[in-house]
Amino acid sequence: MAAPGSGGAGRAENGYGSQRRKGPGALATTYLVIYNVVMTAGWLVIAVGIVRAYLTKGSYHSLYYSIEKPLKFFQTGALLEILHCAFGIVPSSVVLTAFQVMSRVFLTWAVTHSVKEVQNEDSVLLFVVAWTITEIIRYSFYTFSLLNHLPYLIKWARYTLFIVLYPMGVSGELLTIYAALPFVRQAGLYSISLPNKYNFSFDYYTFLILVMISYIPTF
């Protein structure tokens, strides 16, 4: 559920032995601070949107529509974290980062956006709330780590609340995909049937089931 670090925890351990290396290091640090501050602010906007929509409407069933645009924007913005790893700005695995980020982007666009019928499901609220809290903590953690001033409360939240937020988010993701299955099958969404000139077929319904199965090793 949670994407790996986009910040630079542990970056000081890399060291820069010469003045020539310090320039790019400082530039990368400045960029990462800006990136993490923007992402923290973005997820705070989503959190405020959730609370405001609930207080205004008195129900959480239509909350998704209140935060749909910022959710799509900032979750898609996490794709930059793959580039951070690929270019060596952040010392994290490119493969692991890509898998974790893409799984969320996939759920955001290829499931929740594409299957309108699931957008009022309780499961969507479940993973959105889990993602929102997780990301506010995570990006705040990286920001303060880069500034060498990490408050204990944020450090504690980073390494403690995931015990609840991780299963909460994964459960919401799985339940949302499951809720989408009948609508995907009925509409034949993103499926390719034979015969066709490419002699290729693809069943999105089956693919989603395989995606759900792939979650098993994460528990």
Dig out the tokens for 180 from the structure.
């989408």
Question: Catalytic residue among 35, 81, 173, 205, which?
Answer: 173
Mean of the per-residue pLDDT values for the chain? 89
Query: 64-82, pLDDT tens digit by residue?
Result: 999 999 999 999 999 999 9
- For tokens 């409407």, name the residue: 57
- Give the per-residue pLDDT at 59: 79
pLDDT tens per residue across span 110-151: 999 999 999 999 999 999 999 999 999 999 999 999 999 999
- 117 is known as an active-site residue: no
Separation CA 126–CA 179 (nearest Å): 13
* DSSP assignments along 104-130, one per residue: HHHIIIIIIIT-GGGTT-HHHHHHHHH
Q: Quick check: 9 pLDDT over 50?
A: no
In the prediction, which pLDDT does 61 show?
78
**pLDDT the model gives residue 212:** 97
Where do we find the tokens 């129900």? 59
135 is catalytic: no
Catalytic residue, candidates 166, 178, 190, 215: 166
Global pTM reads 0.87
Percent share of the chain, pLDDT over 90? 81
